[in-house]
Structures are given as structure tokens and as C-alpha cells.
Amino acid sequence: MKLKQAYIKGIGMYVPKKVLTNHDLEKMVDTSDEWITTRTGIKERHIAAKNETSSTMGAEAAKEAIKNAGLKPKDIDLIITNTITPDMPFPNTSALIANILGIKKAGVFDIEAACSGFIYGLSIAKQYIRTGEYKNILVISSEVLSRVTDWEDRNTCVLFGDAAAAAVVSESSGKSEIISIYLGGDGAYGDLLYLPGGGSLHPATEATVKNRMHYMKMKGNETFKVAVTKMSESALTILEKANIKKSDVDLLIPHQANMRIIKMVQKTLELSDDKVYINLQKYGNTSAATIPVALYEAVQEGRLKRGDNLILVAFGGGFTWASAAIRW
């Protein structure tokens, strides 16, 4: 069987209107704009309205991605949504999004790889396109992290935001191609970044609510060190796998968690500032959504053109990590 090439045909994004600035946070917890800016690079983040959820935001992003790809909802064969904040344990968010978009015939499932979710999702879509099983696949990242953020915990509440973005992955007949993807993970680090309550281990009880177990917990400093190591390793691994030299990278889009982590990965790849896309100052860490949101904005701003060598690299809860080499 001759394998086909997969590429990202269209993209879309959606962020909620409400903006929460560092100065707003100064009024909520013992923090300062200066601390958040120097330690993370974040200035503001978007917060979903009461009636917005991962499915409604994901559907908005998906609508734009489908239109941008020159397709109609009926052309979609499969929907993969990456989220750690699904509307509910089930039905899955992809099914809910399909319903909003009026898609009746597509396969629907979610994956959970935290901040690495978009690249994990792309890896699955790529395989289905390569074999010819499906023609057009929606890979959606949608996160409403504000609902699982402990707004009394300054260690975490200054970091996260809400956003969604989507990509249509299709068969390529030209130069554009998802060249190679690398995935990794190590569950031994599970308790450095996690949300303990609400699953089969600690189902919701009065005690889990009282003990704030339905919010994200992070040991920031320890997570930081592993993030730097694994993101740098993943970036180098994908260059080797795809046979791309550091000097041939046109744009790096790293997971947007912390400016200092991004700068260290940039140093590893010996890239100048114009070859690294950063927008975390506007959105904070939106988990699986950071990379596709950045991808969308990089294209809009003309920072990424068809034919460019694009590297994606992510790291998140699990721990999970992943990288991708794409000829955009």
C-alpha cells in the first residue's frame, strides 16, 4: 500500500471575550504584576463566560477551521478533541461538538494528554490520513481551565487561561506535510501536576470539595526543571527524526507555559527571536490549546508561510511530552 501525505489544511481559533489582567489578580491573591511578568512572561489571560464550555468554544474554533480549509461540516470523517476540561465525563466533547456543528457521520473521541494534547491528536490524525482510511479529520484543542483553577492558590491561578483552536488534517498533494511526530511520557511524575478529585479514585464527596481536590495542583519548580529538559530533548529528537538542521528551522512554536522555559528551548535549538513564536503574554497557559492558538496567530501575522519548516514542541501533565516537524 502506498502511504499518503497528511497536512494541516485549515485552522481556526476562539478565545472568550473576558480578559483577566495581572492587575486584576493583584486584587484576588497576594501577587504582583511584576512577579508574574518576570517569572512567567504572562500579562493577561481570557476567561470563559458562564455559558461557554469546552464544546461551545471548540465548536467555534472548528467552524472556522472547516471554512478556512474550504470544506463543509459534512466533509469531516473524524473528530478528535484534546481536553483536560471536558464538559462532563461523557458524552465526549467531540460528540458534543459534532452535534453543535450538525455532523452526523463522523467518528468522535477525545484524548487526554494535557498540554501535549494537540501534537498527540495530530499524530493520530496523521496515521488515518496516511493509510487513506479518512480524508478530513478535525483535531480540536479546547480548554476551560478557569473552571478547575483554585482562585485562592497564587501558585497556580496566575498561570492559566481559557482558549480553543482547531485544525483540519487532510491528504496533501503538494509539498505541505506533517513530516514526523515524536511522543513521550512518564507517569512517575504524575503527582507534580494533577487534578486529584472527581475520578474513580476520589469521586466527588463533601470531603473532596472541602479539601479543594477538584482544582489543579502543581509543584511549579520541580515541573519547570523537567519541562526544560524534556522540551529541549523532544525538540532535538524531532530534528533528528525529520532530518532537519537547526539552521533550517523557520519557526518554532513551543507550548506556552513560561517564557523562561521557552527561552531555554530556543537556546538549545540556537534560534534567533524571529524564529520563535510567543503569545503567552496574551493568553497564559491554555494547556492543549496553546500550540494551535499560536499556530493560528503565526499564520495570520505572516510569520509562517506554506513551505516553511515548522517545529512544534509540548510538555504537560502526566508527564507527557511531544514534538512535531511540519513542512507548512
Q: Is 285 a catalytic residue?
A: yes
Q: How far is the CB of 13 from ligand UT7 (least distance, A)?
A: 18
Identity of the residue, 212 or 305, whose beta carbon is nearer to ligand UT7 in the bound complex:
212
Q: Is 157 or 244 the residue whose CB approaches ligand UT7 more closely?
A: 157
From CA 276, how far away is CA 253, in angstroms rounded?
A: 6
Instruction: Please pick, among 82, 258, 285, 309, the residue that the annotation labels catalytic.
Output: 285
The nearer residue to ligand UT7, 136 or 320, going by C-beta atoms, is 320
Q: Closer CB to ligand UT7, residue 186 or residue 301?
A: 186
Q: How far is CA 155 from the centre of its chain?
A: 21
* Shortest reach from residue 249's CB to ligand UT7, in Å: 22
Task: Kindly state the smallest distance separating residue 219's Cβ from ligand UT7, in Å.
Answer: 8
CA atoms within 13 A on the CB side of 258: 23
C-beta of 170 vs 234, nearer to ligand UT7: 234
CA distance 135 to 75: 8
Q: Shortest gap between Cβ of 221 and ligand UT7 (angstroms)?
A: 4
List contacts with ligand UT7 (CB under 6 A): 31, 35, 39-40, 115, 154-155, 158, 220-221, 223-224, 227, 257-258, 261, 285, 315-316
Report the distance separating Cα 189 and Cα 187, nearest Å. Answer: 5
The answer to whether 322 touches 113, Cβ cutoff 8 Å, is yes
Of residues 40 and 170, the one with the C-beta less far from ligand UT7: 40
| Maximal C-alpha separation, the chain | 61
Q: Which residues contact 260 (CB under 8 A, 6 or more apart)?
A: 39, 40, 41, 224
DSSP-based three-state secondary structure for 58: helix
- How near is the Cβ of 237 to ligand UT7 at its closest, in Å? 18
Residues contacting residue 54 through CB under 8 Å, at least 6 positions apart = 81, 83, 85, 86, 87, 93, 142, 143, 144, 164
Nearest by Cα to 278 from 265, 270, 269: 265
Active-site residue, selected from the candidate residues 22, 92, 115, 309: 115
Query: Is residue 92 flagged as an active site residue?
Result: no
The nearest distance, CB 3 to ligand UT7, in angstroms, is 33
**CA atoms of 316 and 183, how far apart (whole Å):** 12
- Phi-psi category of 30—alpha, beta or left, where left has phi over 0 and alpha has psi -120 to 50? beta
- Which residues share a beta bridge with 241? none
Distance from C-alpha of 256 to C-alpha of 238, rounded to nearest angstrom: 19
Distance CA 118, CA 28 (A): 31
The yes-or-no answer on residue 155 being catalytic is no
Of 68, 92, 157, 255, the catalytic one is: 255
Q: Which is nearer to ligand UT7, 42 or 122 (CB)?
A: 42
Q: What is the dihedral of CA 135, 61, 234, 159, to 10 degrees?
A: -160
Catalytic residue numbers read 115, 255, 285
